[in-house]
Amino acid sequence: MKHFRVSHSRFFLPVPRRDFGEKVDRILDCKVGNPNFGTYDKYDSRRLFSIPPQMLPVVLMSTFPTSLGYGRLLIPSAVVSATWLASLLIASGSPLLAQGGPASVVVTAVVEKDISAEQSFVANVKPWRESTIGSAVDGRVLEFMVNAGEAVTQGQSLAQLRTKTIEIEIAGAEAELALREAELAELKNGSRPDEIKLAEALRDVAKANHEYARSKMARAERLYNESSGISVDEFESDRAAALVAEATMAQTESSYRLVVEGPRQEQIAQAAARVDMQTQTLEGLRDRREKYTLKSPFDGFVAKELTETGAWVRQGDPVATIIEIDPLEIEVYVPEASIRFVRPGDEVDVSVEAVPGQTFHGVVDQIVPSADPLARTFPVRVRVENEAVQGRHLLLPGMLARVKLPSSEKQTRLMVPKDAIQLGGAAPTLYRVVDGKAMVVPVVMGPSQGSWVAVTSSVPGQLRAADLVVIRGNERLRPGQDVKITKQQEATP
């Protein structure tokens, strides 16, 4: 034999002749009554036969001739079979041979943790946010800047409407505001020095005229009383002139004080109010102009294009649909019998059929407290992070998902890594290290959490928290075998 392969549980022998393979098959059928122990396959252009280790001696002793000739020397087949069997066992490291020294293993501690049973529910992948962008004003689409499927950022322009008319209105409002501001500034600045000097000069002139008119009236009154050639009309005229001069002096005196004191505070307040009113008018026009540019309200992707360049849109007409997919919302409908075990903030596992072999971690974000009256199920919304990988997001809205949610109250259970479980026998087992020896412990498996699983020892008391269990090197262990711990991994379920 030039070729053979060895696994942990079976030997693979190249069989060059069909009659030899059929003979081995009959032997296996006869000895163990199970044709699955012997199977054929392709290997190195020959027929390959798969044989369990425990059946190898029987096959060899039954298929080799009673003796083999080598020249004049006859070698009993038992010697050849034994020699060949020993070579195979040594090459395979089979546990059928006695192993020298303790086995090297990696262990971890049994952890006690409060967990609950879980149930898988069908769910739908939905955007975290979806917004249909509508036009706030009437206008013609001057430019539509995005395409469906493109990524957009918050504040990025999606479409631009024609703004010529609104620009003209804004220019007129800006000019009106400048006029109102100049009026207010004029009132606040008060009278100029030249205006004060002019008012003062007019007051002095009026005062001088008043003095002259008074003197003239006094002379006229003396002459009139003395009957010295002045008529009544002349006397009345001089007295009227004196009165007019006095009034003029009072008027110029008031004007002078007004010029010196400046405008009233009420006038300034009215001018300031007119400025504010025009400012708000201008801001309203500018805000309206902003509405002619339609922008994305958040980071996301364009899901739908609902208009095009040159189209006329009215106030409220949709223009584009934007969705946010990082994070995502997983919507799952939970039956009324299980909804009481689900709580906001619970961490759950999510799997998606479109992304096989990968589990996503989510958090229960909301539980809608209103059931479907027909299905008696409650909507539960799970938040799942969906960061881009090499520029692409793995999860997309519309995908089919499955969510594992709690289906019972939490109980304190013993947790071990799944690598510690041996499933080859009649019941699951694991190896517990006690005084440097591997002790087999039959267990009953419970709910799992990631790479850890809850277990209960079949015999009460055989497994406790903080016990060390083998997670590496347990494939070849035998009950009671000496072991050497090479590493103890941290227990973090």
Q: Which two tokens stand for residue 356?
A: 């096989």
Tell me the C-alpha distance between 21 and 15, whole Å. Answer: 6
Q: Side chain identity at 475, as an amino acid letter?
A: E
In sequence order, what are the residues at sequence separation of 6 or more whose Cβ sits closer than 8 angstroms to the Cβ of residue 32? 55
* 415, 493 contact by CB (below 8 A): yes
Which range (51-60, 147-156, 415-424, 434-443) has the least confidence? 51-60
* 75, 68 contact by CB (below 8 A): yes
Tell me the C-alpha distance between 124 and 223, whole Å. Answer: 119
Q: Which pLDDT score, from 0 to 100, does residue 492 have?
A: 83
Tell me the C-alpha distance between 384 and 360, whole Å. Answer: 7
How large is the average pLDDT for residues 282-292?
95
Query: How many beta carbons lie within 10 A of that of residue 332, not counting itself?
Result: 25
Q: What is the DSSP letter of 101?
A: S
How large is the average pLDDT for residues 188-192?
85
Tell me the C-alpha distance between 292 and 339, whole Å. Answer: 47
* 296, 129 contact by CB (below 8 A): no
Q: Which pLDDT score, from 0 to 100, does residue 100 have?
A: 57
Q: Side chain identity at 121, as an amino acid letter?
A: F
Q: How confident is the model at residue 216 (pLDDT cuts 50, 70, 90)?
A: confident
Long-range contact pairs involving 233-237 (C-beta distance under 8 Å, separation at least 24): none
- Region at 30 (left for phi over 0; alpha for psi -120 to 50; beta for the rest): alpha
Tell me the C-alpha distance between 345 and 407, whole Å. Answer: 16
pLDDT digits (tens, 9 = 90+) for 119-173: 999 999 999 999 999 999 999 999 999 999 999 999 999 999 999 999 999 999 9
CA dist 459 → 103, 299, 429, 454 (Å): 26, 57, 12, 15
CA-CA-CA-CA torsion sign (211, 216, 217, 222): positive
Tell me the C-alpha distance between 214 and 240, whole Å. Answer: 10
Which helix (H) or strand (E) is 256 found in, with range?
A: helix 232-261
Q: Kindly list the strands in the beta sheet with 429-434, ordered across the sheet, starting from the edge strand earlier in the chain.
A: 111-115, 411-417, 452-457, 437-449, 429-434, 468-472, 103-109, 483-489
Residue 361 above 70 pLDDT? yes
Tell me the C-alpha distance between 102 and 20, whole Å. Answer: 40
Q: Which pLDDT score, from 0 to 100, does residue 98 have?
A: 40
Q: Which two tokens stand for residue 404?
A: 């594992």
Query: How many beta carbons lie within 10 A of that of residue 118, not counting itself?
Result: 18
Tell me the C-alpha distance between 418 and 18, whole Å. Answer: 42
Q: Which pLDDT score, from 0 to 100, does residue 458 have?
A: 92
pLDDT digits (tens, 9 = 90+) for 241-279: 989 999 999 999 888 888 888 888 899 999 999 999 999
Which range (24-33, 53-62, 220-229) has the least confidence? 24-33
Which pTM value belongs to this model?
A: 0.59
Residue 25 above 90 pLDDT? no
Q: Which pLDDT score, from 0 to 100, does residue 364 have?
A: 97
Query: Can you give the length of the chain in residues?
Result: 493
> In whole numbers, what is the pLDDT of the chain averaged over residues?
82
Residue 27 above 70 pLDDT? no
Q: Which pLDDT score, from 0 to 100, does residue 90 have?
A: 37
